[in-house]
Amino acid sequence: MEKKTYLLFILVVIACLSACGTKGIAVTVTEEEAPLEISDVKTEEGQVQETDEEKEQEIRKNLKQVETEEQQEATEFQERQLKEQESESEIHMRDDKDESISEKEKNILSEAIETEPVENEVEEEKGQQEVSAKETVKAGVPVVDALLPEENSKERTEPITHVVMHFSSNVLENPHQPYELEDTRDIFIAYGVSAHYIIGRNGEIYELVPEDRVAFHAGKGELPGYPNYKDRLNDYSIGIEIMAIGTKEEMNTMMSDSFYDSINLGHIGYTDAQYKSLQLLLDDILLRNPAIEKDREHVIGHDEYAPNRKTDPGSLFDWSSIGF
């Protein structure tokens, strides 16, 4: 607007000069005083008038250009406002959509929670405690990965025909908590022994050695009817450790009577949860290894293979609880 006002002012000044200023100067000039001819003055006056008209035209042109620019600025301003309104509208629509999606997700999550089984109730029903190790499913049986180092086993080359039951604990080192998994694993690693599975007090099943490898669990011994198995039962069997403590007589080679009497009675013998898990695991092993028949000839205790030096699983183990 300032530019436009300035141009209008110039236009008015030039118009006034054209009307009176230039002609007055031409009248006051006499032939005697002027060094030029009258015709020259008139010619010059005409040139001045033409120059003034050209300037006026140029000013008018500039004024028109300024008006055009102002119109363009006004149009651009309106377009910007329109775009801002459209952007705000899109944002509101997007927010409404997000709220709708969020509400839908909440409904789906709510339905999923309602239909999801309550894990705590399932765990209480099974009597299983939480474990930090990774759990896998082995033919329908939940198994927790607690694998021992590879040097605690070897490659298997013979068919699997037997299952051997054991008991184990760390009662000598930790009488108040004798069934800590890591304590048992440390003992196995330190002594270079192993088993394929170990079952905790609440029925949790830990896999220590894959079945396609030989675990070091049976040691030296003989099995009636299988002369080739002498001191080699490991090669033909799967070993299952159960976290338990036997009778005082069965444990007297490892501890004194007074020490045994100090053990919490709740730590002695086996639990119902262990029998339940053992039954599931045993059925699964027999299903995958048809050479193992479901009888007491093929499913045995460590004390049957090495009666002179082993007492596990002992007299407190109830074979009938697993179908024998």
pLDDT per position as a tens digit, 257-291: 999 999 999 999 999 999 999 999 999 999 999 99
β-bridge mates for residue 144, sequence order: 135, 206
Residue found under tokens 């490659």: 155
pLDDT at 71: 72
Annotated active-site residue in 45, 54, 105, 241: 241
As a whole number, the mean pLDDT across the chain is 78
Task: Tell me the two tokens of residue 314.
Answer: 């002992």
Say whether pLDDT at 160 is over 60: yes
Separation CA 274–CA 128 (nearest Å): 10
Say whether pLDDT at 4 is over 60: no
Quote the longest CA-to-CA distance of the chain.
160
| 207 is a catalytic site residue | no
More confident residue, 153 or 93: 153
CB atoms within 10 A of CB 226: 15
The stretch 169-198 carries a mean pLDDT of 97
Distances in Å between the Cα of 209 and the Cα atoms of 86, 188, 201, 204, 287 are: 67, 12, 20, 16, 19
How is residue 21 annotated by DSSP? I
Distances in Å between the Cα of 195 and the Cα atoms of 99, 165, 303 are: 56, 10, 16
Say whether pLDDT at 23 is over 60: no
pLDDT per position as a tens digit, 235-244: 999 999 999 9
CB atoms within 10 A of CB 311: 20
DSSP for 233-287, please give it. HHHHEEEEEEE----HHHHTTTS-HHHHHTS-GGGSS--HHHHHHHHHHHHHHHH
pLDDT per position as a tens digit, 53-96: 666 677 677 666 756 766 777 677 667 766 666 555 554 555 54
pLDDT at 321: 97
pLDDT at 42: 44
